[in-house]
Amino acid sequence: MTATVVITRTDGVLEIRLNRPEKKNALTRAMYDAMADAFRQVDADPTLRVALLTGTGDTFTSGNDIADFQARAAGNREASASRFLPTISSMQKPLIAAVNGAAIGVGTTMLMHCDLIVAARSARFVMPFTSLGLVPEAASSLLFPRLLGHQRASALLLLGEPLDAATAHEWGFVNRVVDDTALMETAHEIAQRLAALPPQAVRLTKRLIRHGASDVAGRIDEELALFRERLGSPEAAEAFKAFLEKRRPDFSQFA
């Protein structure tokens, strides 16, 4: 069986590639765990300097697997990402994202915890939490208003409006936008530059830039508590069912 997360090491850089293209790299519990393990590996191994996250095919990731959301709603409400989110947000070494196409839901919110983001021209960022009957996660309800201002964050998080690569660059959400064919070369070039720098200075600088992590951790927990509740809500049940039945959801029945 092909691995759904492919890990490749090049010198001091660990590339973590989401690899479930037939489902647009929708994230299963096993994929979240594999990413979290890889981040821990980078922090623990003194010969590794940088992690680089990307996806196979035309999508970075379509977010949490909706069938998995549905299964969790029916039984265990523990969100699949509950170990992944604290791990990515507390990583000590730099994490670069190379966004190859759409980044949906947690595909976008996880990027708030990356230090540098390179986007392909085809990249698109969408957080359709409300239309799934859910609430934001990964401290995005704190970090997006902080980065973009209240109104823009509301358009993204309340309305679920998509953000294209050029606008994301203009708004300061991504560092660079490059042709799709140049994405990996550019991302690896940046990773190698970081890997060549003095590692302690890099780690300390990341820590200073991320200062204030305690309010991030608190918001992740607060969001997760609500998220778990929402997973079991009738609104979310209708949204998940509609997606899997390939029809438009009907929220008119809800007060």
The nearest distance, CB 26 to ligand COA, in angstroms, is: 3
Tell me if 101 contacts ligand COA by CB under 6 A: no
Strands 124-126 and 95-99 come out as unpaired
Contact track, ligand COA, 126-165, x by CB under 6 A: --xx--x---------------------------------
Strands 176-178 and 5-10 come out as unpaired
Among residues 6, 7, 11, 23, the one that binds ligand COA under rule CB under 6 A? 23
* Touching ligand COA, residues 33-72 (CB under 6 A): 59, 62-67
Provide CB contacts within 8 A for 108, sequence distance 6+: 125, 126, 127, 140
Per-residue DSSP letter, 28: P
For ligand COA, give the closer residue by CB, 35 or 194. Answer: 35
Tell me if 102 contacts ligand COA by CB under 6 A: yes
77 phi/psi in degrees, rounded to 5: -85, 5
The nearest distance, CB 226 to ligand COA, in angstroms, is: 14
Among residues 14, 104, 118, 191, the one that binds ligand COA under rule CB under 6 A? 104
- CB-based burial, 229-240: b 16+ in 10 Å, e otherwise: ebbeeebbbbbb
Tell me if 100 contacts ligand COA by CB under 6 A: no
The nearest distance, CB 43 to ligand COA, in angstroms, is: 27
The nearest distance, CB 152 to ligand COA, in angstroms, is: 19
Tell me if 108 contacts ligand COA by CB under 6 A: no
Cross-sheet strand order for the sheet of 95-99: 5-10, 13-18, 50-55, 95-99, 116-120, 176-178
> To the nearest 5 percent, what fractions of the chain are helix, strand and coil?
50, 15, 35
CA distance linking residue 152 with residue 161, whole number of Å? 10
Positions that interact with ligand COA (CB under 6 A): 23-24, 26, 59, 62-67, 102, 104-105, 128-129, 132
